[in-house]
Amino acid sequence: MSILKVARMGHPVLKRVADRVEPEQFGTPGFQSLIRDMIETMEEYSGAGLAAPQVHVPLQVSVIEVKGNPRYPQANEIPLLVLVNPVITPLTQEKRLGWEGCLSVPGLRGAVPRFTRIQVQAQDQNGDDLDFIAEGFKSVVIQHETDHLFGTLFPERMENLKYLFFEKEWDRYSEQLPQLPVID
């Protein structure tokens, strides 16, 4: 296993649409070791999720896991989830603003509007179909990671750049902010 180098905002691999994983790729040692390395990299850098383009691999694969994460101390736990070729369908038009960070946008936090309830259709690491509904923080992380697979970073989703902070200033001053508005 290895910890992989994370691409940062500006790298072309983060701006392109990643390739779908083809059925014959699932069983290969390279694909399985990519997933293991992505999980190890996510844990090493305390990410809530990691998408393959962030480790310079333009494939539609992401890993998600939250348990006792120092970057997200308030967040509910999310058991390890591997999403391959995910398709997201919003189940409501309601969006809510929440704070996000990204290993590819180090040092920054921003308030990003996300759908509050989504349907997720994808495959797991073995190529088996997944179909489930996600809400709350889990749905936010899935939307963030899936955006990576289509060349989008969280600042591009922001509607008000007044809510873009450096982490240190966010720690210091975010409690003074008015509560984030809910967008309907």
Taking the complex as a whole, the smallest distance from the CB of residue 29 to Ni ion amounts, in Å, to: 27
How far from chain centre, in Å, is Cα 108?
15
Residue showing the smallest CB distance to Ni ion in the complex: 102
SS3 99: strand
Kindly state whether residue 102 participates in binding Ni ion, applying the rule CB under 5 A.
Answer: yes
Q: From the candidates 22, 24, 145, 175, give the one annotated as an active-site residue.
A: 145
Residues 120-159, one symbol each (x = binds Ni ion by CB under 5 A, - = not), give: ----------------------------------------
Task: Tell me how far apart the alpha carbons of residues 14 and 106 are, in angstroms, rounded to a whole number.
Answer: 14
Is 145 one of the catalytic residues? Answer: yes
The answer to whether 102 and 7 have CB atoms below 8 angstroms apart is no
Please give the size of the binding site for Ni ion, defined by CB under 5 A.
1
Residue 172 structure tokens: 């210091």
Q: State yes or no: residue 63 binds Ni ion (CB under 5 A).
A: no
- CA 168 – CA 165 distance, rounded (Å): 8
Give the binding site for Ni ion (CB under 5 A): 102
